[in-house]
């Protein structure tokens, strides 16, 4: 039986619609999973029933994480916030972590994971932490624009067996103060946290870069999706 992976929906308020980037679904499908887009809900009973159905959760990119989640007010440079997503993902993560269910967070996903667990975020890197490292590339998004250093004591190093990785990058927020329960797996050239994990859990990873864009060309992105799906089976 292939594992079913629940994917948090993307939201387009202007079109009053939910949608999905094919790269999230294709990356999971190619790794042997069955991807499904979840409904937008923070109802605890509904989420519990959904988690009875799926074997893993993928936290997608998209809206900025609401600063109220980590005790701050939005700066003028903070982007569009979705209170509905913040509320849904809070309940989703709570129950998924309680069940020790595999979770992969990408871009906003790593940021939300950190904020939910007690960390803080840079609301806007260009104004709060200027750098020459490219963190907000233009298309095509499958082209690497900077490197990350992978810590040798991390699960990511054990998977990829390399200390450096070239990655794509498209974000303006990032981890500022890391949550105590998260362990850093990789750092960018300018010292930003680019990957985290929770030790002692079956699989809880957060990545700042975008394997959903690079998996068609990059074997390491494929390995990450494969490892996520493999842990959803075991």
232 part of the active site: no
DSSP state of 150: E
Helix or strand holding residue 128 (H, E): helix 125-128
78 part of the active site: no
From the candidates 63, 78, 107, 227, give the one annotated as an active-site residue. 107
Query: 3-state class of 56 per DSSP?
Result: strand
Give the residues across from 150 on adjacent strands.
Answer: 186
212 part of the active site: yes
Q: For residue 84, what are the CA distances in angstroms to 34, 64, 194?
A: 25, 12, 26
Give the residues across from 56 on adjacent strands.
Answer: 5
Q: Which residue has the tokens 């200390």?
A: 163
Q: How far apart are CA 225 and CA 137, in angstroms?
A: 22
From the candidates 212, 215, 227, 232, give the one annotated as an active-site residue. 212
Q: How far apart are CA 93 and CA 47, in angstroms?
A: 10
* Range 131-135, long-range pairs (CB < 8 A, 24+ positions): 131/190, 131/192, 132/190, 133/188, 133/189, 133/190, 133/192, 134/169, 135/169, 135/170, 135/171, 135/172, 135/174, 135/188, 135/192
From the candidates 135, 146, 171, 210, give the one annotated as an active-site residue. 210
Q: Which residues are catalytic?
A: 107, 210, 212
């Amino acid at each position: 039986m292939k594992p079913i992976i629940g994917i948090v929906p993307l939201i387009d308020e202007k079109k009053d619609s939910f949608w999905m980037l094919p790269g999230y679904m294709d990356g999971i499908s190619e790794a042997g999973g069955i991807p499904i887009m979840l409904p937008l809900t923070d109802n605890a009973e509904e989420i519990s029933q959904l988690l009875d159905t799926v074997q893993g959760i993928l936290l997608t990119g998209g809206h900025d994480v609401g600063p109220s989640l980590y005790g701050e007010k939005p700066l003028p440079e903070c982007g569009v916030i979705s209170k509905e997503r913040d509320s849904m993902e809070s309940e989703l993560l709570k129950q998924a972590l309680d069940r020790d269910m595999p979770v992969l967070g990408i871009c906003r996903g790593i940021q939300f994971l950190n904020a939910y667990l007690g960390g803080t975020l840079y609301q806007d890197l260009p104004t709060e932490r200027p750098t020459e490292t490219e963190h907000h590339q233009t298309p095509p998004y499958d082209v690497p624009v900077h490197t990350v250093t992978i810590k040798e004591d991390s699960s990511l190093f054990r998977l990829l067996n390399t200390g450096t990785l070239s990655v794509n990058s498209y974000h303006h927020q990032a981890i500022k103060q890391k949550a105590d329960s998260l362990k850093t797996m990789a750092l960018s050239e300018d010292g930003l946290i680019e990957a985290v994990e929770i030790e002692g859990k079956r699989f809880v990873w957060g990545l700042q870069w975008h394997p959903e864009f690079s998996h068609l060309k990059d074997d390491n992105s494929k390995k990450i999706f494969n490892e996520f799906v493999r842990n959803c089976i075991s």
